[in-house]
Chains A and B, each alone.
Chain A
Amino acid sequence: MAKLSLRGVVKKFGDNTVCDGIDLDVEEGQMVCLIGASGAGKSTLLRCINLLEAVEDGEIFLDGEDIAEPGLNPQGVRARIGMVFQSFNLFPHMTALENAMLAPRRVHGRSKADLVGEVEDLFKRFGLADRMHNYPDQLSGGQQQRVAIIRALAMRPEVMLFDEITSALDPQLVGEVLDVLLMLKQQGMTMVLATHEMGFARQAADKVCFLKDGKIIEEGPPEALFDAPQREETKAFLARALK
């Protein structure tokens, strides 16, 4: 059974259908990359998986349980699925450490003393031990994004969603964030990424899905999709994206 399974997911904003019947399977420990032009529905799909958007139709199975069931309490699901955003969205009034400890304290009811060692280890592992007590505006973009990843990991999620997390970064900072993703992959984290980093998708993904107009037009292992795309739309997109 797939860790995460989407069946016929539909999301509309008014008359605008952003996700138009999406099927997707993500196996435990897999890294799946969603590629496609801006507006293709990648970000919205991730927001739907994290229940930040309510889907109009379709099912989303996490370990076989349908989390898209209307009326389901979303907090329990979100605590199991971590999400990192393009614009970092760190809480500016808290230090990096406080950012990472807030949710485990509130959601899991753990004490600061109990948590602090574990969270400090995360900061050490991702090379930010000397930045723990800084506020977000004292950190570079790449550091802020790594703190955002640590904040999500502190909840010990089973699945991580990454929404174009390098798009707001200066080119020289992209690498340090992508390295973190590779570390997570090695540790066996199940991940879904919306990304414009084609080189990274090709190198690291287990599966790549090409989205257009809210549909997955083509999917497959990166070698197949990048080197021998079957559909005209995919070829056209890759020709532009890889230029």
Chain B
Amino acid sequence: MTTTKAAGMTRRERYEAQQRKRSLIIAATSTVVVVGCLMIFVPMSPGWEKVQRSFFNGGVLADTFPKLLDAFKVNVMIFAWSAPAIAILGLLIALARDAKSPALFPLRIFGAAFTDVFRGVPVILTVYLIGFGIPGLGLPRPWNSPYIWGSLALILTYSAYVAEIFRAGIDSVHQSQRSAALSLGLTERQVMRDVILPQAIRNVVPSQMNMLIALQKDVSLLSFIGPVEIFRQAGVFKSLTANFTPYVGAAIIFLIVTIPATRYADYLMAKQMRDRS
């Protein structure tokens, strides 16, 4: 009794503090060992010096990094106009697939076909087909721009996924909410708009964050049909310098954006789990 009082901790707290200290020591030791091994053994491998020269060349990195950052602005721009379009189209497709009125049956079929097609085809194929195919119709400038049609390909593909997430969100709102809203005399439409959708959208914010992160990376696929965004720019520098370091530079720029975004999405997801339990 007197010892617990002296330490100012209960038996349980003392035990847990001890366990925490133990875990910390084990985690630190194992990290030091693993990192140490990597630092010792990787440079001992026969091709290391070559790899270091062609992938981790400080001089090349310093020369190309600012221009890569410039090219990244193109990615950001394409992302910035695609993301809102995806959110709107995705929501419309989700609503179309849940439409109950018989007059809207064609819309339901269209919604189902849309999600099946665009989720079933690799993104790069959609980018090629739309990005090369539609300008091939001989459209006048600026309507033959690969920026437009490449973005459209991304918008269509991502809307299909985003729509499915919205639908899951709509299903996640309990039936009793619908009953309560209907019992007040609201129409199906008002129930959806005022009661179901606000809750559904809030429920899927973390999942949609993950889609945004994926989109940010997939913008690079447009490089295959023309726009000189960061991946394409890195390719140009690779040819000029005969060195792969620009690709590593591009990867670093992506990570600077995606790691905080991923952490934030995980945080939202964990918070939601906590709120629900």
Contacts and interface: CB of A to CB of B under 8 A. Distances in A.
Interface of A: 47, 50, 52, 74-76, 78-79, 81-83, 85, 87, 89-93, 102-103, 106-107, 148, 151-152, 155
CB-CB nearest 6 A-B residue pairs: A79-B185, A89-B180, A103-B184, A83-B183, A107-B185, A78-B185
Interface in B144-199: 176-177, 179-187, 190, 194-195, 198-199
A107 B184 contact: yes
A83 B177 CA distance: 13
* Interface SS majority for chain B: helix
A78 B183 contact: yes
A155 B183 CA distance: 11
Contact of A155 (B181, B185, B194, B198): B185
A76 B182 CA distance: 11
A78 B195 CA distance: 17
Nearest to B195: A91
Nearest to A103: B184
A103 B186 contact: yes
B67 interface: no
B177 A75 contact: no
B202 interface: yes
Contacts of B198: 93
Nearest to B185: A79
Interface residues of B, number: 17
Nearest to A87: B176
Interface string B69-85: 00000000000000000
A93 B198 CA distance: 7
A7 B56 CA distance: 85
Given A79-B185, A83-B183, A91-B177, 11 more contacts: A78-B183, A89-B179, A91-B181, A102-B186, A102-B195, A103-B184, A106-B186, A106-B190, A106-B194, A107-B185, A148-B180
Nearest to B180: A89
Contacts of A90: 180
Nearest to A107: B185
Nearest to A90: B180
B185 A52 contact: no
Contacts of B183: 50, 52, 78, 81-83, 85, 152
Contact of B182 (A52, A91, A151, A155): A52
